[in-house]
A and B are shown apart, each in its own frame.
Chain A
């Protein structure tokens, strides 16, 4: 579904990604794991065209995103939950969902998808009229994921959904991710919380200093010496 070939990107003269190639097949859940500053967020920003590629190519269902402007990426079926959630704090939960359904095609299905989001996260229905900025961290993450689902994406990009949340909440967030995968969404998730995320995804890539170091099925990576020593402290 999504394929990256030798992607290079960065900010000004600072290069963050050095020839990253990866692939996400339809129905899969894939993680990109790695330490702080590895370029994980940059990778998702490059896919969503929030930053320009300096080399390489991103294709979605065989279509190159090279000449697609940032605000049209979502129309290709790619929806992103950005780092730190980035909800519109002074809009209500429901208004945030409305923004996720801004595309004309999504507006027609607003009521139907909103009900789906509420069935996924009943807490959001309770809080529908509340300002997003007043939600707890975990609720904000639900709202951000809900907002991203409102466009009816084929591929969901999740940027550090567990960042800044208490360990108990992290577990429930990971359960949410698992449910979304089970709903048939294709998911690409970027995470520092390696142990937790490997329990819910099918495959993962290890990104270090802007390069893919290794990849494989989750169970394989969890068992590999490289990951265990460097990231799991075993």
Chain B
């Protein structure tokens, strides 16, 4: 068969690389929803803030790149904690639609703030990494780094959630919020910790994206919807489902884009999403 060639294999491998990154993108959003039961519509905009933080520290203040990235992760983690304390906490017992609108408001706030602070022109780090060639196939080096770091980030989050006391409490509170005080756990503090962790994951995603893409205030819109769709496809709040969905989505985009055209990759992925929603509205691994 003509189509089964080395470039198809390249597309599949690129899809796996993309899948790792998408898995990391959706993990934080999923975690926050699973624990606090609020969807942060503005999650991608927090990633955008992380990208700007790395850009500002590295390009304008000449910090070493890794230091700028560490600071970027820390600042988005702080932003996540503040987001919970000042935006989510007041509406915790409100109607879901109001919670959604509030986080949507934060989306526009962050976009406008970024426009004011950085203008609308595209910025980039100016870091150029050569592509990696394996035989006839060629892979973008930033993508390989992004994949490796994303997988490490997902694994670290998994270990944290399963091994540590705080991580176990984060999983427990999503099962029974009311009795947590009987364990000596203050639910409010766990929520802040979860939000900070979700923020840190957004910050890490920002570090990986800023290696590959130019930054502009509306960049959140180019991967925010897909992040959200991956969470829904996997079963909102189900982290394992999110991982599976990320890799499925990435294959549709990458291989679909190879067989047809780049834009068609997204079209096929979204058609697949809609089809799954008819078949399983709760998502692949969703419970209720």
Binding site for B on A (CB under 8 A): 48-50, 69-75, 79-80, 82, 86, 88-91, 95, 98-103, 106-107, 147-148, 151
In the complex, A88→B172 CA distance in Å? Answer: 6
- Cβ distance B22 to chain A, nearest Cβ, rounded Å: 25
| Interface size classification for chain B | 10 to 19
Are A91 and B172 also in contact (CB < 8 A) when A74-B184, A86-B179, A151-B184 are?
yes
> Interface digits, B139-166 against A, CB 8 Å rule (1 contact, 0 not)?
0000000000000000000000000010
A102 touches B175 (CB 8 A): no
- Expressed in whole angstroms, the Cα–Cα distance for A102 and B168 within the complex equals 9
Contact A71 B184 (CB under 8 A): yes
Question: Does more than half of chain B's interface fall in helix, strand or loop, or is it mixed?
Answer: helix
Among A70, A79, A91, the residue within 8 A (CB) of B168 is A91
Q: A50, A91, A106, A107: which contacts B182 (Cβ < 8 A)?
A: A50
Q: Are B175 and A74 in contact (CB under 8 A)?
A: no
Which chain B residue shows the least CB distance to A75?
B184
Kindly name the residue among B169, B175, B183 whose own CB sees the greatest number of chain A CB atoms within 10 A. Answer: B183
Contact A72 B184 (CB under 8 A): yes
20 additional contacts, CB 8 Å, given A71-B183, A90-B175, A107-B165?
Answer: A48-B181, A50-B178, A50-B182, A69-B181, A71-B186, A72-B184, A79-B182, A86-B179, A88-B171, A88-B175, A90-B171, A91-B168, A91-B172, A95-B171, A99-B172, A99-B185, A100-B183, A102-B165, A102-B184, A151-B184
Interface residues of B in 11-49 (CB under 8 A from A): none
Contact assessment for B175 and A89 in the assembled complex, using a CB-CB cutoff below 8 Å:
yes
| Distance in Å: Cβ of A148 to nearest Cβ of chain B | 8
In this complex, which of B179, B181, B182 has the most chain A Cβ atoms within 10 angstroms of its Cβ?
B182
- Closest Cβ of chain B: how far from A46's Cβ, in Å? 13
CB pair B181 A88 closer than 8 Å: no
- Within the complex, what minimum Cβ distance (angstroms) separates A107 from chain B? 6
Contact present for A103 and B182 (CB under 8 Å)? no
Q: Is the CB of B182 within 8 A of A80?
A: yes
Report chain A residues within 8 Å CB of B183.
71, 74, 99-100, 102, 147
Contact between chains at B179 and A82 (CB < 8 Å): yes
Q: Given A91-B171, A107-B165 in contact, is the A102-B179 Cβ separation under 8 Å?
A: no
Known contacts: A99-B168, A99-B169, A102-B165. The answer to whether A48 contacts B182 by CB under 8 A is yes
Interface membership of B176, Cβ < 8 A? yes
Report if B267 contacts A (CB, 8 A).
no
Min distance, Cβ A41 to any Cβ of chain B, angstroms: 13
Q: Given A49-B181, A50-B182, check contact A98 B175 (CB 8 Å).
A: no
